[in-house]
Amino acid sequence: MPAATACPFCAIVTGDIAAEVVWRDATVVAFLDRSPLFAGHVLVVPTVHVVTLPELDDVGAYFERVRRLAAVMPGALDAQGTFVAINNVVSQSVAHLHTHVVPRTKGDGLRGFFWPRRKYAPGEAAAVARRLREALTD
């Protein structure tokens, strides 16, 4: 599939590009967004290259992984809840299906769809990814 050869998310799935992976199995790879809304902002991508949700054959297995991450994230990161979102084509920065799972806390400043991005401090991404990995394997 030609589109997959240049896809950065496919390269993360194959391990050709490094990422802070919090979950990996035959269905998905979940990793920290490199420009998160908040620490712990995760992208869940299917291991098969599809661009949009309508192209994904096994939606149930995919969303079971998204659901599991959304369930453990508040406890792992001292958050009150999560925000889960998918863009299909419009505002999709990488042409590979990905679901954002973002930790939320009341008063965190996230309003509407104008989201301030941040960078991780040195060592912060590894520590946050470790907390999520530990929560997912409990």
User: Residue 12: which CATH number?
Assistant: 3.30.428.10
Q: 84 is in which domain, residue-wise?
A: 2-137
pTM confidence score: 0.83
Tokens of 135: 């929560």
How many domains would you assign to the chain? 1
Q: For position 123, what pLDDT does the model report?
A: 92
Structural element, H or E, at residue 127: helix 124-137
* pLDDT computed for residue 47 by the predictor: 97
Residue by residue, pLDDT tens for the chain (138 residues) are 444 568 999 999 999 999 999 999 999 999 999 999 899 999 999 999 999 999 999 999 999 999 999 999 999 999 999 999 998 888 888 999 999 999 999 988 887 655 666 788 999 999 988 989 998 887
Q: What is the pLDDT of residue 2?
A: 44
DSSP letters of 64-106?
A: HHHHHHHHHHHHHHT-SEEEEEE--STT-SSSS--EEEEEE-T
DSSP β-ladder status, 21-24 and 42-46: unpaired
Q: How far apart are CA 39 and CA 53, in angstroms?
A: 25
